[in-house]
Structure 1
Amino acid sequence: MWPVRQPPARPNRPSPSSPPFNALAARRLRAGLGMGPEHVAYGMRSSYGLPYVTPDLVIAWERGVTHPSSPELTALAGVLWCSPGELIGRPRTLREHRISRGLAPEDVARGAGLELPAYLRMEESGIWRGNERQSAALADVLGLELPDFVAVTGREDKLADLLHSAVTTRWQAYVRPVGKAVPLDRAVVESVLQELHRAYQGQMVATLSWGGGSRESSDNGREFLDRIIDHFWTAVEHCGPPRR
């Protein structure tokens, strides 16, 4: 049974090479330990072999001016006596989920039943090519909830396209395709698609009836479609815990 919760707002990632960093958490953890930026910088230099880390760099991380790389984040977590996951914002990619769990690539590859080179290619490309058994094992190793599982395995874009069509045309025709893209009970998919279709169409009709004009209606509809994935997971959550 998949635990499903509405995902929080997605953070803006600084670059593909660095994990999403929770600057506020880093600052709070440091303050809780009674450490100054200079103590953190010293610990990273002396214990983790990062001679370039200065108090000013630590402050820049905490202010969100710049973001630590993966090795820097691991070292920072060590100095702050926490797991890397406590310093990472919401993970979005396979690599970010692995880092947030403090796992080595070898651990994930072994747990998912993959050869290490094959796993690394998937992580670097951002394209998951595992079969159903390997996908299920990956979800277990990384503790992925269903929204994250869908995103990590590259199904989110396809799901968004299906949902766009479902709410703008006949939702009944998309029950099966959505069910293939997302491991949910058919009854849940039917209920969610019907709800989203009703919400979208109702919003469009209401806007026109209020005399807002076609431009306003179009803007409202576009905004709804832009957030269709979030609307989908919210509706799934309201249906109760789904089964895989």
Structure 2
Amino acid sequence: MAEQTVVTAAPRPYVVPVHRPQAQQPTPPTPPFDAPAARRMRTALGMAPEHVAYGMRSSYGLPYVTPDLVIAWERGTATPSAQELTALAGMLWCSPGELIGAPRTLREHRIARGLAPEDVAHAVGIELLAYVRMEEAGEWRGTDRQSAALADVLDLSLPDFITVTGRNGRLAELLRSAVTTRWQAYVRPLGKLLPLDRRLLEDVLTEMHADYQGQMVATLSWGTAAAAAGSGEAGRDYLDHIVENFWSTVETITD
């Protein structure tokens, strides 16, 4: 019987997958980064991008940070993650809040204060997992006592507090109705939504109602189609920015 030769394939080498930081699990949206501030602070310290990158690699365990990445952050072509922002702030001897634009969400306000989720959860008396879920969903569901503690630990102004607790939509709805109809009917519901003195609310609504109605009729007396269109455009713009107009009027009256 003829001898048979069995040929076996060489074993395939095992390839260890390499995951870049950008390819990891999805992360929450990054905070609004103030790129010019980062460059200004680095320059004031007399540091080059190479120094910042080296420090972030050696002191903060971010081995992928290069001088080019630091430059990209400063030019606004890339945005640091929350972890990178904290490390960058450490290298620039500043708080994370000094590298953030105007915070918009609960998470951004926490990062701006340099706090961990567990710090806020403990301060307001909420379980960590429950707080993290609220932060991720962008929906605050704390009690009045917890809300007051939240405003204190994050040093929130009243407009910021209304925003992060998800009340801006309802505020805008009530204000639009107030300036387009009889404002007197909306003092009470606004008083339930906002911790403001009733008299102050009345003064603010009186002024806003007059402003809006004035914009709507100011040019209509000209009796032209162009005037009517311009008046309508001004009115729509006022309603689109109704919340900003409200806080601006509050500030003007209380000054």
TM-score, with normalisation over the residues of structure 1? 0.90
Letter paired with 2:245:
H
- Quote the residue 1:205 is aligned against: 217
- Quote the residue 1:4 is aligned against: none
- Quote the residue 1:156 is aligned against: 168
Q: Which moved more, 1:146-155 or 1:51-60?
A: 51-60
Letter paired with 1:47:
S
- State the alpha-carbon separation in 2 of the partners of residues 195 and 112 from structure 1: 37
- Quote the residue 1:135 is aligned against: 147
Q: Which has the higher contact order (CA 8 A, sep 6+)?
A: 1
Deviations 1:76-126 (A, max 9, x none): 001111111110111111000000000111111111111111111111100
| Count of aligned positions | 227
- Quote the residue 2:190 is aligned against: 178
- Alignment gaps of 5+ in structure 2: 1-26
Q: Please tell me whether residue 84 in structure 1 is matched to residue 91 in structure 2.
A: no
- Quote the residue 1:114 is aligned against: 126
- Alignment gaps of 5+ in structure 1: 1-14
Q: Within 5 Å, which residues of 2 pair with 1:12-51?
A: 17-51=29-63
Give the match's secondary structure for 1:239. Answer: helix
- Quote the residue 1:215 is aligned against: 229
Q: Please tell me whether residue 167 in structure 1 is matched to residue 179 in structure 2.
A: yes
Q: Please tell me whether residue 195 in structure 1 is matched to residue 214 in structure 2.
A: no
Distance change (3 Å), C-alpha of 1:103 and 1:176: same
Letter paired with 1:175:
V
Which of 211, 227, 237 is the aligned partner of 2:241?
227
Deviations 1:27-53 (A, max 9, x none): 110000001111111111111111111
TM-score, with normalisation over the residues of structure 2? 0.86
- Quote the residue 1:238 is aligned against: 252
Structure with higher Rg: it is: 2
- State the alpha-carbon separation in 2 of the partners of residues 135 and 26 from structure 1: 32
Give the match's secondary structure for 2:219. Answer: helix
Pairwise CA distance, 1:209: 2.0
* Percent identity (aligned): 70
Give the match's secondary structure for 1:143. Answer: coil
Aligned-residue CA RMSD (Å): 1.3
